[in-house]
Structure 1
Amino acid sequence: MNKYLFTLLLSTAGTIGCFAQANIVPAAKQTKTIAITGATIHVGNGTVISNGTIVFSGGKILSVTANGQAPQDIEVIKADGKHVYPGLIAPITNLGLAEFSSVKATLDFAEIGNFNPHIRSLVAYNTDSKVPATLRSNGILMAEITPEGGTISGSSSVVQLDAWNWEDAVVKTDDAMHMTWPAIPQSRGEFGGRRQLLTPEVIAERRQNAINELEQFFSEAKGYAAIGKPTVTNTRFAAMKHLFDGKQQLFITADSQKDIVASVNFAKKFNIKPVIVGGDEAYLITDFLKENGISVIVKQPHALPNSTDDDVNMPYKNAAVLANAGINVAISIEGYWQQRNLPFMAGTAVAWGLDKEKALSAITLNTAKILGIDKTTGSLETGKDATLFISAGDALDMRTNHVEKAFIQGRDINLDNLHKQLDKKFSEKYGLKAAN
């Protein structure tokens, strides 16, 4: 027994040593006024200011002007020939809820059960995760931490990615309830250990049963919310009350055009205007989406279409088609480590028909509007949080994006990360030049 315990301790120590990130601590509050001068400022709302100056103090933006001059007696960062962007926002991610996909003990993004509206991702968010630092190095400074699993997964919250704990990290608490629309069942199922072909009638029946169950749950939750002081507490129904008073949004994952229409009409029965997540076939029903004022968070453009009959390039085009039709679009990417590639997903959308500044809005201001945080962040405007970064090149181009400095609410954050440390370590070992 002692032998096995000793081996386990050695293994654990080795793992901790391999994944340690030295000297990366959250930044202190901003104490002096800072001006960034000479840069091309991408405001995030479509406006671009050449040779601009942005001044911020106490974590808030004081001014954004179209000249290279800065007030006297303040700290000046000269960024001639460089670019300033608002901090990028990653929606729909289990960042901080997972560390190693192969180690179950580090996965905390899903619960058992089909209806879990009482689950709150925020309290499980791990600010000591090694992943957020890699995102900050590419300009992703905020994220919507989202639970998964079941039909109703629970509530997400928006955090900034440089904090000691989840209380410090939170930007907006319980911004949205997340739901997955019942999909068409697989054409084959298991019966008595043998595969069984499901008829169209059986498929339709199972699907309708799932929808009926969901509608009953919402109806009971709405009735519970109407009770001032219920004699018996139901934590699941209590968690949904803000859906019905408009204080919380409903995000519905749906991909096919029929599912999107059905899910929107379902939400309308309860006087809820949902946000569609995924929306692979949203481009086929743009008039319906505009008519109902529906925003769409599209999946990563680097994917294959769901149907063999679809244009193989449709995932690349989807964001552009929706945005050009006048729909509020945000871009997301699955997973947690992969979030660092979010700006390049927007760059792909540019290559397939989306205006570059609109693509930037799809990962900044549009996302902020969808998440309900646009009054304080998402663009570089007077009075908003000084959450921004400086890149030597185009932030949406992986060949030129090089984040040299980043600020979250005015705090000058550390851009070191595990990847940079390993790069430096082995570059020195083999006599190579490190990337950063």
Structure 2
Amino acid sequence: MAGFGLSTFAQANISPAKPQDKKTIIMGAKIHVGNGTVIENGYLIFDKGKILGVGDATVAKFDLTGSTVITANGKHVYPGFIAPITNLGLTEYESVKATLDFSEIGTYNPHIRALVAYNTDSKVPATLRSNGVLMAQITPQGGVISGSSSVVQLDAWNWEDAALRKDDAQHMTWPVVPRFRGGFGGGGRMGMTSPDALKERTQAQINELDQLFTEAKAYTETDKPTVTNARLAAMKHMFDGQEKLFITVDGQKDIIAAVNFAKKHGVTPVIVGGDEAYLITAFLKDNNISVVVKQPHALPNNLDDDVNMPYKNAGILANAGVNVVLSIDGYWQQRNLPFMAGTVAAWGLDKEKALQTITLNTAKILGLDKTVGSLETGKDATFLISAGDALDMKSNTVEKAFIQGRDINLDNLHKQLDRKFSEKYNAEKK
């Protein structure tokens, strides 16, 4: 109960920022545009929430009268980081069932919308903002088809204010054959099932999915269905291209099967996980498939894999021409997203390309690259200023952050606790 009261108190002190009311100019910073370009001594001008100009401060000439000028010499400016595939705002306390709202009962739930359950009063988003994560794809879980995700900005009064893009994608877990470890003695139910039976069961699940997608496409192409079916109706925008299909799958053969399934039904797939995607880079590139690499800080899934493969996977894919995005499981952990990008940069990926895996590449797969993901004229002024390298855990120090031009509050529960107990122990030393 004490923890609940403290988190409520912390959030009461953090209100969403007010709209930008004056033109602002950032001067002298090292600007990481997000598209691979770096401006060593740059300027960034924004007004009414939009970027008006980005360039080299050493040659630029403009009138500073009436503008707010932020001197950022020696500091770094980055586009706001984007956390894909997270149950952020859908869960608060893992041990309290009433605060868990990320999954529904049932196997096929395309009609479930994560956005309407998103809790802007959660104490967690503020901790993400402090590390530069300013946007997130709020995603449902569970079943074979979990429902639709939406993209939000992390400084809002309610989910309507937070929404950047509603219902951007449906999320599906591809049926795979469980690994058979041999023997019919121990091992529980799987140990009592033959490999052939497991394959048949998995194929039956795929056939059921195939039937569902066929029925959904026929239903959505009917002008006035005689019977309303909410599940089938919710799949409409996959077939007209407004929504993508995010498919969680790891094995190379399963990835190929999932992509071919999506192409058969005329939907745009994005592979999530893709542990063995590095083995089929040519296939992925030829089919223009993006891959969301999960958990770069993890152990390999296969016993005979290179122990460093989770670090290398993103670099191998990106260097082969595949659009790569990084993600982390869970919600608290999202604050470490920039450090995941720093890790893949240390294992074979150019630093600015690593930055793109949490900015522009992510914006592309979410259908938001025209407004966020890079610091370009006309886009939202959603960015951060860090005293050091934001992808490095040792030097990441986010001093300011803006969402659509609004100068947001970077305080959070963790900082409040740090101040509280620092004051306590400092007082005891005197």
Please give the TM-score of this superposition, normalised by the length of structure 1.
0.94
Unaligned runs of 5+ in 1: 1-10
Pick the aligned partner of 2:57 from 52, 61, 67.
Answer: 67
Pick the aligned partner of 1:94 from 87, 95, 98.
Answer: 87
C-alpha contact 1:89 1:367 (8 A) present in aligned 2: yes
Pick the aligned partner of 1:212 from 203, 207, 217.
Answer: 207
Q: Cα deviation per residue 1:148-200 (whole Å; 9 max; x = unaligned)?
A: 00000000000000000000000000000000000213538999x87742211
Give the residue type in structure 2 aligned to 1:344: F
Give the residue type in structure 2 aligned to 1:122: L
Pick the aligned partner of 1:16 from 4, 28, 34.
Answer: 4
Give the residue type in structure 1 aligned to 2:393: M
Pick the aligned partner of 2:128 from 101, 115, 135.
Answer: 135
Q: 1:49 corresponds to which residue?
A: 39
Give, in angstroms, the shift of residue 202 of structure 1: 0.6
Pick the aligned partner of 1:333 from 328, 332, 336.
Answer: 328
Matched, 1:318 2:313: yes
C-alpha contact 1:185 1:206 (8 A) present in aligned 2: no
Alignment of 1:362-381 (within 5 A): 362-381=357-376
Q: 2:16 corresponds to which residue?
A: 26
C-alpha contact 2:297 2:340 (8 A) present in aligned 1: yes
Give, in angstroms, the shift of residue 145 of structure 1: 0.2
3-state SS of paired residue (1:384): coil
Paired with 1:46 and 1:198, the residues of 2 have a C-alpha distance of 51
Paired with 1:71 and 1:223, the residues of 2 have a C-alpha distance of 59
Paired with 1:196 and 1:257, the residues of 2 have a C-alpha distance of 25
Matched, 1:111 2:99: no
Give the residue type in structure 2 aligned to 1:407: F
C-alpha contact 1:319 1:329 (8 A) present in aligned 2: yes
Change (3 A) 1:432 1:409: farther
Paired with 1:30 and 1:304, the residues of 2 have a C-alpha distance of 45
Paired with 2:180 and 2:395, the residues of 1 have a C-alpha distance of 46
Deviates more, 1:214-223 or 1:115-124: 214-223
Alignment of 1:339-378 (within 5 A): 339-378=334-373
Give, in angstroms, the shift of residue 34 of structure 1: 0.2
C-alpha contact 1:117 1:240 (8 A) present in aligned 2: yes
Paired with 2:248 and 2:189, the residues of 1 have a C-alpha distance of 31
Give, in angstroms, the shift of residue 23 of structure 1: 1.6
Q: 1:7 corresponds to which residue?
A: none
Q: 1:174 corresponds to which residue?
A: 167
Matched, 1:397 2:385: no
C-alpha contact 2:241 2:268 (8 A) present in aligned 1: no
Give the residue type in structure 2 aligned to 1:52: G
Paired with 1:334 and 1:195, the residues of 2 have a C-alpha distance of 26
CA RMSD of aligned residues (A): 1.7
Pick the aligned partner of 1:388 from 383, 389, 393.
Answer: 383
C-alpha contact 1:60 1:384 (8 A) present in aligned 2: yes
Paired with 2:99 and 2:359, the residues of 1 have a C-alpha distance of 29
3-state SS of paired residue (1:172): strand
Paired with 2:295 and 2:253, the residues of 1 have a C-alpha distance of 21
Identity percentage of aligned residues: 71
Q: Cα deviation per residue 1:77-97 (whole Å; 9 max; x = unaligned)?
A: 000000000000000000000
Paired with 2:56 and 2:279, the residues of 1 have a C-alpha distance of 41
Q: Cα deviation per residue 1:100-125 (whole Å; 9 max; x = unaligned)?
A: 11111100000010000000000000
3-state SS of paired residue (1:431): helix
Paired with 1:173 and 1:59, the residues of 2 have a C-alpha distance of 20
3-state SS of paired residue (2:205): helix
Matched, 1:273 2:263: no
Unaligned runs of 5+ in 2: none
Change (3 A) 1:321 1:432: farther
Paired with 2:326 and 2:206, the residues of 1 have a C-alpha distance of 28
3-state SS of paired residue (1:163): coil
3-state SS of paired residue (2:426): coil
Change (3 A) 1:93 1:190: farther
Paired with 1:37 and 1:245, the residues of 2 have a C-alpha distance of 44
Give the residue type in structure 2 aligned to 1:337: W
C-alpha contact 1:97 1:108 (8 A) present in aligned 2: yes
Q: Cα deviation per residue 1:371-395 (whole Å; 9 max; x = unaligned)?
A: 0000001000000000000000000
Deviates more, 1:36-45 or 1:266-275: 266-275
Give, in angstroms, the shift of residue 226 of structure 1: 1.1
C-alpha contact 1:53 1:64 (8 A) present in aligned 2: yes
C-alpha contact 2:238 2:268 (8 A) present in aligned 1: no
Q: 1:123 corresponds to which residue?
A: 116
Q: 2:420 corresponds to which residue?
A: 425
Give the residue type in structure 2 aligned to 1:167: E
Paired with 1:314 and 1:71, the residues of 2 have a C-alpha distance of 51
Paired with 1:271 and 1:187, the residues of 2 have a C-alpha distance of 33
Alignment of 1:185-334 (within 5 A): 185=178, 187=180, 196-334=191-329
Q: 1:38 corresponds to which residue?
A: 28
Give, in angstroms, the shift of residue 432 of structure 1: 8.5
Please give the TM-score of this superposition, normalised by the length of structure 2.
0.95
Deviates more, 1:194-203 or 1:148-157: 194-203
Paired with 1:154 and 1:194, the residues of 2 have a C-alpha distance of 29
